[in-house]
Structure 1
Amino acid sequence: MSTIYEAVCDSEFVEELHQTDAKEFWFRAIAVLEQLCRSMPVEGLFFTHNPQILANSYSLHNLQIWFFTPSHTALLATKSLPIQNTQTIRLAKNDAIAHEWFCLLVSRSFSLLILSSEQSRSCIYSFHPEPLQKAIAVLRQKIHQPAQISLLSQQLEQFSVQMPEYRAIAKFGTLLLSQSFQQELPIPEIREVDLIGAITHEVKTPLTTIRTLVHSLLRRKDTTPAIATRLKQIAMECSDQIDRFNLIFEAAQLAASPVPLERIQFQDVLLQSIERWQEQSQRRQIEIHLDVPQELPAVISNSNLLQQVLNGLVDRLTRGLPTGSHILIQVSAAGEHLKLQFQSQSEDGMHSGESPLLRAVGQWLMLQPETGTLSLSLPITKTLFQAIGGKFTVRLHPTSAEYDGEILTIFLPIDRG
């Protein structure tokens, strides 16, 4: 069987829903599963295409997580969770189960499979061991590393699929039914954009004060060279964080007013930015290589915002790469557009497997839990480039190439006037 759906759909112990929207039922079922995990002890195995499904549940840390993904880009948050009990299984891009939304929980309290498949445009679920074991068999075929094969066998011996308890099934059904009739509470709406604006102000104000105090200390004659070096590091970190939140705030203001576009000399923008990028990369021991023509055409964009967005991209890229990595920056003409491209490669050629996790925080932001760094989400970054007249794409370079990590490409319209 090539998909989980094909393996379990004919089982008499599977409930399949065609009457409701598949994705709508999926989200309801996942919400109910979260409530179940809070109401009873859950310890066992968790197989999924998305490890963030139960991110709001404390039970997540008691589960051995098996994460199946065809993706290799840090921007889309594809690395395993930053906890020791997670295994990541890389799928081929054309693997059929890459198009299935699934979560399979195997615990001593209860076991449950929830599946939404494009193949059937329906959503199914089951508590019974027979379809769950079939689903596990399909997933086991995707694991090829001997160490992971051995680990999964040990874990399945420790947490075997058992016949469901009546209490778990009854509670699942009750919670699912109550969701269908639940009325919305009259909670005042708080727009995410307003919240982001308020947080930006609260973060920037103390950082600006700290930076000002640091600069005053640097001007003192009794500041020793060692202390001055530390103070400069503090000032640079404050500036980076302030600029990061400035960009977030600019993105939040897009809906309020259109961005004015004008003819700008891209070469000037690039020259002003390169020195900053070199400083950022040197602090993280990352090399930047430039492939830029001596003369560049003018483009139509917004100079201030374009510089902020480019700085934000380089900041996210350098923070996501391990020490000793390389970034190639190329600029070239592409028809009616100027193409700016960032290609990344880690020292050992395995950047995709070393990338830090980025968690979604609402629709606007991504959080890197290991460092606490916030950055704009991919959809918002694309929207921001559209607002300043450009286009932004992210893809992976073929692994046979010298640069085998992410490729971030920006297209800006050339001014022919």
Structure 2
Amino acid sequence: MNANFELDQLEISKTISSVLRHANEDCDDQPISVNQRRRQWRGAIAALERLLQDQDPQKHSAGMVLSSPSPMFCDRQISEHYQQVVFAPKSLQEVAISTLQLTGIVEDCPSTATHSFLEFPIFANDPLHQERFCLVLTPQFSFAMVSADEGGFQFSFDPAVFNELWQMLRWRMALTQPFQFQTIQQLWRQFAPVAPDYRLVSRFSQLMLRSLPDMNLVTATPKTKPVKEKVSVSRDIQPELELLQALTHEIRTPLTTIRTMTKLLLKKKKHLTGDIVKRIETIEQECNEQIRRMELIFRAAELETPSHCREVQLIPTSLEQIFYNGIPLWQKQAQRRNVDLQVILPQTLPHVVSDPAMLDQVLSGLIETFTRRLPSGSEVQIHVSTAGNQLKLEVQSQGIGQKCLEKAIGQLLIFQPETGSLSLNFNVTKNLFHALGGKLRIRQRPSGDDVFTIFLPLGNNISLTV
């Protein structure tokens, strides 16, 4: 790999915001409030998602999305056809641990792995640490946007700015994750920046204006909730958190390797018998479920860390996509335990304000934990409705027989000796929903059946028909 960089030529102080501000210097540069900036960012994300959904990945190569500090989209089509690259705030210690994983086993956004992405670190002293940005490259258009304290919200379709942006990002990737950088460099060459059709720029502007959330909602929905609402955990939890993070990483690495091997075998399934294909698909499904569980435990441990400072980015989130992807998976998991799961949805599903990838993970984890606790032959009903300016999701059960015994392990996990499964305890799960801008309530009916109620803030007035 050719990555010869002169440190004095890296222009470390340059930011995405400064590049786009210079490119848009002829535009009005009046300062805007933090809430206005958040509102514009959310509207732009919703508009950009619609543009990418409108592309035809069957006729064209898809593209690449680079963002910070979290993945931008949870839409199934985007996840499957667009390589997502995330620049995430990390410490040097975290980077050192992550580089110990086997090279050549980097997930390259497999279609069956929801929200798979390549990750590169941004250190605390890096100027990009203070910015939220998103770069999109497709055969039809190139797009960049940024939200920062200095410069506010900026966006551009001008392909001329992308060479400068690429120079800023490429050395950071090459120095921290050189093997993953080779993949990104090939994709960058494949999707060279292009000027868009003027009608596409006009459509983006119209979609963004239509997608702007109400100002009252933006003001009332900060990125993080007050600390006092969070369920407290002991201060001596740090050793347990470090152990959990190390274990989940060590478990996830071989599972990812096994999943990669199953994908290679399934590419040759025409040479295999139907029975063998079915067994390989079962192995792949089990790997996917365990990997998702380990990722959720790792994320929970990260959020519980006292020194954790990375905020969860909340944006308008399509519930249609989450339920479209999740319901078949939840029902399949329940059927394996002889539990009948039914989901009752309203005619239209509103957007909510949350982190789409993390909400999908946490919601799936909670429903899996709920069904695992029930005896064979139970019934689970999930009812989705609106309650004022919130979305209400209620999960309740009806079962005959004794629930599986559970045992607390440390301050984060619950262990079921009967099934051998691990899951997050309810205090930690409540903290996860709190970080997502919502809340979880748990109550028990006189019959002994549990009722979980989840509340999430509504995003804007956009509704999608189911």
How many residues are paired up? 221
**Structure 1 position 336, deviation (Å):** 2.2
**Structure 1 position 313, deviation (Å):** 1.0
Asked if structure 1 preserves the Cα contact closer than 8 Å seen for 2:245 and 2:301, the reply is: yes
- 1:250 maps to 299
**Structure 1 position 289, deviation (Å):** 1.4
Q: 1:392 aligns with which of 440, 443, 453?
A: 440
Determine the C-alpha separation between the residues in 1 that align with 2:431 and 2:383: 23
Q: 2:422 aligns with which of 374, 386, 411?
A: 374
> How well do the aligned residues superpose, as a CA RMSD in angstroms?
2.0
2:283 aligned with 1:234: yes
**Structure 1 position 324, deviation (Å):** 2.2
Determine the C-alpha separation between the residues in 1 that align with 2:349 and 2:294: 30
**Structure 1 position 290, deviation (Å):** 1.8
2:462 aligned with 1:414: no
1:336-347 to 2 correspondences below 5 Å: 336-346=389-399
Seen in structure 2, the aligned counterparts of structure 1 residues 388 and 226 have a Cα distance that, compared at 3 Å, is: same
Q: Deviations over 1:67-101 (max 9, x none)?
A: xxxxxxxxxxxxxxxxxxxxxxxxxxxxxxxxxxx
Determine the C-alpha separation between the residues in 1 that align with 2:254 and 2:381: 35
Seen in structure 2, the aligned counterparts of structure 1 residues 268 and 214 have a Cα distance that, compared at 3 Å, is: closer
Q: Deviations over 1:21-63 (max 9, x none)?
A: xxxxxxxxxxxxxxxxxxxxxxxxxxxxxxxxxxxxxxxxxxx
Determine the C-alpha separation between the residues in 2 that align with 1:230 and 1:265: 34
Asked if structure 1 preserves the Cα contact closer than 8 Å seen for 2:396 and 2:449, the reply is: yes
SS, match of residue 253 in structure 1:
helix
Determine the C-alpha separation between the residues in 1 that align with 2:363 and 2:325: 11
Determine the C-alpha separation between the residues in 2 that align with 1:281 and 1:310: 15
2:377 aligned with 1:328: no
- 1:206 maps to 254
SS, match of residue 334 in structure 2:
helix
**Structure 1 position 222, deviation (Å):** 3.4
**Structure 1 position 190, deviation (Å):** 5.8
1:177-216 to 2 correspondences below 5 Å: 191-216=239-264
- 1:110 maps to none
Q: 1:268 aligns with which of 318, 321, 327?
A: 321
2:278 aligned with 1:225: no
**Structure 1 position 199, deviation (Å):** 0.5
TM-score (norm 1): 0.50
- 1:316 maps to 369
1:75-86 to 2 correspondences below 5 Å: none
Structure 2 residue ranges without an equivalent (≥5): 1-235, 462-466
- 1:160 maps to none
Determine the C-alpha separation between the residues in 1 that align with 2:294 and 2:421: 11
2:346 aligned with 1:293: yes
Asked if structure 1 preserves the Cα contact closer than 8 Å seen for 2:327 and 2:343, the reply is: no
For 2:302, the aligned partner's letter is Q
TM-score (norm 2): 0.45
Structure 1 residue ranges without an equivalent (≥5): 1-187
- 2:227 maps to none
Larger Rg: 1
Determine the C-alpha separation between the residues in 1 that align with 2:314 and 2:412: 23
Determine the C-alpha separation between the residues in 1 that align with 2:436 and 2:333: 24
Structure 1 residues 374-383 or 279-288, which shifts more?
A: 279-288
Q: Deviations over 1:233-288 (max 9, x none)?
A: 22111111110010011112224211111121223222221121122122223211
SS, match of residue 374 in structure 1:
strand
Seen in structure 2, the aligned counterparts of structure 1 residues 250 and 189 have a Cα distance that, compared at 3 Å, is: closer
Determine the C-alpha separation between the residues in 2 that align with 1:265 and 1:239: 23
Runs of 4+ that moved beyond 4 A: none
